[in-house]
């Protein structure tokens, strides 16, 4: 790196520090499911802040007509919602611009994973929250664990319910504080039976589907792990280590196999998140997968996986080469990768590696550089 580049890097780093100091603080209440009490706790905190002289206002809250929660709105300032006509109906959205105009010290924003009405400035509420934070306003928000992008498929396999509204993992990583609202399975089911989550007519169906002890226990474990990992990342960043370890860098290798590539991307995102490490998604395009040979549906799935990788915080690399293994090695060496992640054996990429004599060379290279190879299933 030249002297000029070092100076430039130093200026960029300082600017980043300045921006972060001006940015609002971000707190997220996270829960294993609806009904654990996230909204209730946010409103309790709003009252506590107000009693201590903090200008706190409600940007968006959804009480779901729960009497105890709704009662906590009394005495708090509520910023009116923006009314929008969409497909012949009058709908309401959070008014992010009005929040920034009023500029309270703290704003409460519920349902972080919400998708905005078509035509809004941002397509997702979490994007509105980032704008609010950048304007210097602190935000307290809430989200359920099933809305986290990298956990989407794992949680869908547990609940059997597809989750369309999701937030990238990077949103959680940006939080200054994450609080898990934890209940036992029995406590949550009792709340449901008492009509504190859904109206009575929906209780029996909920008990037979989502609100079963086995599902709740699995979701609870995932939520607890996620908050624990956030705490570990925070400690890792804020408390200097006496021994400097080699920083982790992950390389996710994908092909045009849509489903396996999606798994590799999501699982590598989780690994990178646990280690608070940068990661790269590498697609090596062989001549057999050139645009004039690959089917349109495969092209579409590939583009969607590129988009998913970017949303989850990866750097995307696309390389044209028929020497797939050699290309992986080259990127791993140049980018000082510590862990290479590939799909399970039926993945085309893996078959290519096994069929070539370069595979042994890859293993030797990984051993020499102390690089790990992870096969994700």
Could you tell me which of 171, 174, 177 has the C-alpha nearest to residue 311?
A: 171
Q: What is the model's pLDDT at position 349? A: 54
Could you tell me which of 169, 136, 141, 173 has the C-alpha nearest to residue 20?
A: 136
Could you tell me which of 54, 26, 32, 28 has the C-alpha nearest to residue 42?
A: 28
More confident residue, 188 or 39: 39
Q: Which of 21-35, 49-63, 165-179, 186-200 has the highest mean pLDDT?
A: 49-63
pLDDT tops 60 at residue 352: no
Q: Which region holds residue 10: left if phi is over 0, alpha if psi is between -120 and 50, else beta?
A: alpha
pLDDT tops 80 at residue 246: no
The model's pLDDT over 73-115, given as tens digits with 9 standing for 90+, comes to: 999 999 999 988 888 788 899 999 999 999 999 999 999 999 9
Q: What is the model's pLDDT at position 56? A: 96
pLDDT tops 80 at residue 6: no
Residue 17: pLDDT band with limits 50, 70, 90: low
Strand partners, 279: 250
The model's pLDDT over 171-221, given as tens digits with 9 standing for 90+, comes to: 988 898 888 888 888 888 888 888 778 777 777 887 777 778 888 888 888
The model's pLDDT over 123-169, given as tens digits with 9 standing for 90+, comes to: 999 999 999 999 999 999 999 988 988 888 888 888 888 888 999 98
Q: What is the model's pLDDT at position 20? A: 64
Q: What is the model's pLDDT at position 243? A: 47
pLDDT tops 80 at residue 322: yes
Sheet holding 315-320, edge to edge: 315-320, 279-285, 250-254, 339-343, 372-376
pLDDT tops 60 at residue 232: yes
- Give 220: exposed, middle or buried? Use CB within 10 Å, 0-12, 13-18, 19+: buried
Least-confidence region, from 244-248, 304-308, 372-376: 244-248
- Give 5: exposed, middle or buried? Use CB within 10 Å, 0-12, 13-18, 19+: exposed
pLDDT tops 80 at residue 277: yes
Q: What is the model's pLDDT at position 345? A: 57
pLDDT, averaged across the chain = 83
Residue 71: pLDDT band with limits 50, 70, 90: very high
pLDDT tops 90 at residue 51: yes
- List the structure tokens of 221: 């474990």
Give φ, ψ of 106 to 5 degrees: -135, 140
Q: What is the model's pLDDT at position 229? A: 79
pTM of the model: 0.65
Residue 244: pLDDT band with limits 50, 70, 90: very low
pLDDT tops 90 at residue 29: yes
Could you tell me which of 228, 68, 212, 220 has the C-alpha nearest to residue 144?
A: 220
Helix axes 200-208, 185-193, angle to 10 degrees: 150
């Amino acid at each position: 790196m030249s002297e000029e580049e070092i100076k430039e890097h130093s200026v960029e780093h300082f600017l980043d520090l300045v921006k972060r100091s001006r940015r609002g603080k971000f707190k997220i209440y996270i829960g294993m499911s609806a009904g654990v009490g996230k909204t209730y706790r946010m409103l309790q905190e709003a009252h506590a802040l107000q009693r201590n002289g903090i200008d706190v206002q409600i940007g968006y809250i959804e009480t779901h007509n729960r009497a105890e929660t709704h009662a906590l709105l009394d005495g708090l300032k509520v910023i009116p919602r923006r009314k929008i006509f969409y497909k012949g109906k009058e709908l309401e959205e959070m008014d992010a611009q009005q929040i920034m105009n009023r500029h309270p010290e703290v704003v409460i924003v519920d349902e972080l994973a919400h998708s905005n009405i078509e035509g809004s400035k941002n397509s997702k509420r979490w994007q509105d929250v980032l704008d609010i934070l950048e304007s210097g306003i602190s935000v307290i928000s809430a989200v359920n664990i099933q809305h986290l992008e990298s956990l989407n498929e794992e949680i869908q396999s547990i609940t059997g319910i597809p989750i369309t509204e999701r937030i990238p993992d990077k949103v959680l990583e940006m939080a200054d504080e994450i609080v898990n609202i934890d209940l036992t399975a029995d406590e949550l089911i009792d709340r449901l039976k008492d009509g504190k989550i859904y109206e009575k007519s929906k209780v029996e169906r909920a008990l037979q589907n989502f609100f079963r002890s086995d599902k709740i226990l699995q979701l609870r474990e995932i939520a607890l792990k996620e908050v624990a990992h956030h705490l570990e990342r925070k400690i890792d960043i804020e408390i200097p280590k006496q021994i400097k370890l080699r920083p982790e860098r992950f390389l996710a290798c994908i092909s045009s196999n849509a489903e396996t590539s999606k798994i590799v991307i999501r699982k590598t995102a989780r690994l990178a998140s646990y280690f608070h490490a940068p990661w790269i998604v590498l697609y090596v395009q062989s001549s057999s997968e050139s645009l004039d040979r690959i089917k349109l549906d495969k092209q579409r799935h590939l583009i969607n996986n590129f988009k998913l990788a970017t949303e989850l915080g990866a750097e995307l690399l696309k390389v044209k080469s028929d020497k797939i293994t050699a290309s992986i090695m080259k990127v791993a060496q140049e980018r000082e990768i510590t862990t290479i992640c590939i799909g399970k054996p039926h993945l085309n990429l893996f078959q290519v590696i096994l069929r070539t004599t370069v595979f042994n060379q890859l293993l030797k290279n990984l051993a020499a550089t102390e690089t790990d190879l992870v096969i994700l299933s």
